[in-house]
Structure 1
Amino acid sequence: MTDTLILLDGGTGRELARSGAPFRQPEWSALALIEGPQFVSEVHRRYVNAGADVITTNSYAVVPFHIGEDRFAAQGRELADLAGRLAREVADAAPRKVRVAGSLPPVGGSYRPDLVDLARARPVLEVLVAGLAPYVDHWQAETLSALAEAELVADLVRDKGKPLWLSFTLHDEAPLTEPALRSGESVVAAARLASALGAEALLFNCSQPEAMQVAVRAASAELGEASPIRIGVYANAFPPMAEDAEANSGLSPIRADLTPTGYAAFARAWADEGATILGGCCGIGPEHIAALALLRAVATT
């Protein structure tokens, strides 16, 4: 690990729930925007205090899937704007430079490439992009299950003048020698697409830590040392998700072995394979990010 390592934040939904914020299904993390935005600001501050260089807008659940078609039509732009503004305020108040990532989620639900509907997703993502645009430093398309989702996001933000980070979720139980997205498309194909779309970073998120190292290795080999594209990882703390799991159906159990120390050990391996962006997804909290910050500090002294 070197001083070029960028630290992301961790999961927002779990941290909101843990902090006592308004939290229930189906609204999930969006409920705090609606009923208790101060909790969102506090979660952002916790991650900044832990050492994160990037905080992510709490816009992942600002989609009809979570807040309903009627509420999205009436309040979607307003809630996206609020998510962006809250993150920007915390970043600007930080004692060091902190960037804001504009979270653009899978509209049909996480982990389900079979639910990808580009025609339905486009108008939803257009609303999120419009609301977040004034506040973000880069776009972060997250938990993408299929390459087509990345192509759609790239098209929507192409004229916004801000970098694009693409983050794919992996098949947790794919053979370790052949890392693949949940759609079955290869990590190599994702790396090629990231390059073709001019992405600034290619990441892997919301998958088992064990699936990440080989994915980073495959992406690094495909992109090559001369590539300007950064590679990153922010894993979740769940057991493997079944292919037919109901998307975003509830809070999954957290693995007992993924303590801050245990997670940092995985992160060190990802960095050794070429990852220069590290953070956490669902179930990974400020204490885990603090452990990554400590690793970075030790490596640079």
Structure 2
Amino acid sequence: MRSFATLDLRDSRVLDGGLATELERHGVATAGPLWSARALVEAPGVVLAVHRAYLEAGADILLTASYQVSSMGFAAEGLGPADAQRAAADALRRSVALAVQARAGRTGILVAASLGPYGAALANGAEFHGNYGFASEAEQHAVLVRFHAERIRVLLGTEADLLAFETLPSLAEARAIVEALAVVAGDAPSAQPGAWLSFCCLDAAHTAHGELLQECAGFLGGVPAVLAVGVNCTAPALIGPLLQALRAGTAKPLLAYPNSGEGWDAEHRCWTGVADVQGYESLARDWYRQGAQVVGGCCRTGPDHVRAVRRAAVAAAD
């Protein structure tokens, strides 16, 4: 992995779209604690095809299919501790290899290794509130540092360009990630990876856990290895004010990759509403004007959304 000091996002404008929901559209099963990471084992060819479809649509950055990868997830599938750790490491490496294979022959494409929060590994929806049930903040912090450092160490040995910590619910998890990055950097200071941190928000000012997003951005603004700060897995209508909150807290590049605008019905476990690609393009133009460096999509967005974002990026450059 490249050192953060060699990375520059100024030429990157368009992120890819949702991976898990796009895999589902291709018939890949994502149920269970591994979610989209199951495809790394069962359908790597489909993962490769989805990456290529996003590149054809105009993406500058590919996120790997590793959001849900963790030794906890493989242990929940019935593996013993040592086997689960090996399986997770193999899946992380495979996710990067597939994205690198997809970009072969293209220049200027970045591969961002996707890493979900601790709540994603719990596979119970906890990433959308950040209440992990630890006895104390100190215990939670220690566990989260170990959890994130384990995966960072594996990814250091891959061809990923940077790390993408996504759907973070809280400032506490962001603090743990920053410490994990520092711990790993202490092991190999010449190869400290760069990262972006992106939060899930439930209103126009606060993270899913309730902290002010501006406060999170202010904390991350002082961390050299943090390349950008953003918002993902959030309603598109909230992105404008959330970008303003981020900019009030940091001068770092900003990211915006919300959901399609459809809603998740947790009781019936289905999506409701309509994905308005034309409307998404109009919003993307606004997000670029409001200071977003990189725009893409999260759940239920696909190649059509990325094409729309590319058109918005071209318009923003005119």
Short-chain TM bin = 0.7 to 0.9
Contact 1:23 1:31 in 2 (8 A): yes
Q: What SS does the corresponding residue of 1:253 show, helix, strand or coil?
A: strand
- One-letter code aligned to 1:137: D
Task: Please name the residue that 1:192 is paired with.
Answer: 218
What are the within-5 Å matches in structure 2 for residues 156-175 of structure 1? 156-158=180-182, 159=185, 160-171=191-202, 174=203
Inter-partner Cα distance in structure 2 for 1:296 and 1:46: 18
What are the within-5 Å matches in structure 2 for residues 39-188 of structure 1? 39-64=46-71, 66-69=73-76, 70-71=78-79, 72-91=84-103, 93-109=104-120, 110-115=127-132, 117-133=140-156, 134-158=158-182, 159=185, 160-171=191-202, 174=203, 176=204, 179-188=205-214
Greater alpha carbon shift after TM alignment, 117-126 vs 271-280: 117-126
Q: CA RMSD in A?
A: 2.4
Shift in CA distance, 28/212, structure 1 to aligned 2, threshold 3 Å: same
In the superposition, the TM-score normalised over structure 1's length comes to: 0.85
Inter-partner Cα distance in structure 2 for 1:183 and 1:208: 16
Contact 1:104 1:142 in 2 (8 A): yes
Structure 1 residue 270 displacement after superposition: 1.5
Equivalent residue for 1:230, pick from 235, 240, 253: 253
In the superposition, the TM-score normalised over structure 2's length comes to: 0.81
Q: C-alpha deviations, 1:157-197, integer Å up to 9, x for none?
A: 232422221101102xx3x4xx0101110011011011122
Shift in CA distance, 82/137, structure 1 to aligned 2, threshold 3 Å: same
Shift in CA distance, 104/27, structure 1 to aligned 2, threshold 3 Å: closer
Q: C-alpha deviations, 1:126-168, integer Å up to 9, x for none?
A: 3322332222111111111111211222222232422221101
Q: What SS does the corresponding residue of 2:85 show, helix, strand or coil?
A: helix
Runs of 4+ off more than 6 Å: none
- One-letter code aligned to 1:200: L
Structure 1 residue 278 displacement after superposition: 0.3
Inter-partner Cα distance in structure 2 for 1:251 and 1:43: 24
Inter-partner Cα distance in structure 1 for 2:68 and 2:291: 31
Shift in CA distance, 231/5, structure 1 to aligned 2, threshold 3 Å: same
Q: C-alpha deviations, 1:261-284, integer Å up to 9, x for none?
A: 111122122122111110000111
In structure 2, stretches of 5+ residues that fail to align are 1-9, 121-126, 134-139, 186-190
Inter-partner Cα distance in structure 2 for 1:33 and 1:202: 27
In structure 1, stretches of 5+ residues that fail to align are none
Contact 2:243 2:254 in 1 (8 A): yes
Aligned residues: 283
Inter-partner Cα distance in structure 1 for 2:261 and 2:109: 28
Inter-partner Cα distance in structure 2 for 1:54 and 1:95: 12
- One-letter code aligned to 1:87: A
Inter-partner Cα distance in structure 2 for 1:286 and 1:213: 22
Contact 1:216 1:274 in 2 (8 A): yes
Task: Please name the residue that 1:31 is paired with.
Answer: 38
Task: Please name the residue that 1:253 is paired with.
Answer: 271
Contact 2:228 2:253 in 1 (8 A): yes
Task: Please name the residue that 2:285 is paired with.
Answer: 268
Inter-partner Cα distance in structure 1 for 2:119 and 2:218: 25
- One-letter code aligned to 2:236: P
Q: C-alpha deviations, 1:96-144, integer Å up to 9, x for none?
A: 3200111121122321210274433333323322332222111111111
- One-letter code aligned to 1:183: H
Identity among equivalent positions (%) equals: 28
- One-letter code aligned to 1:77: A
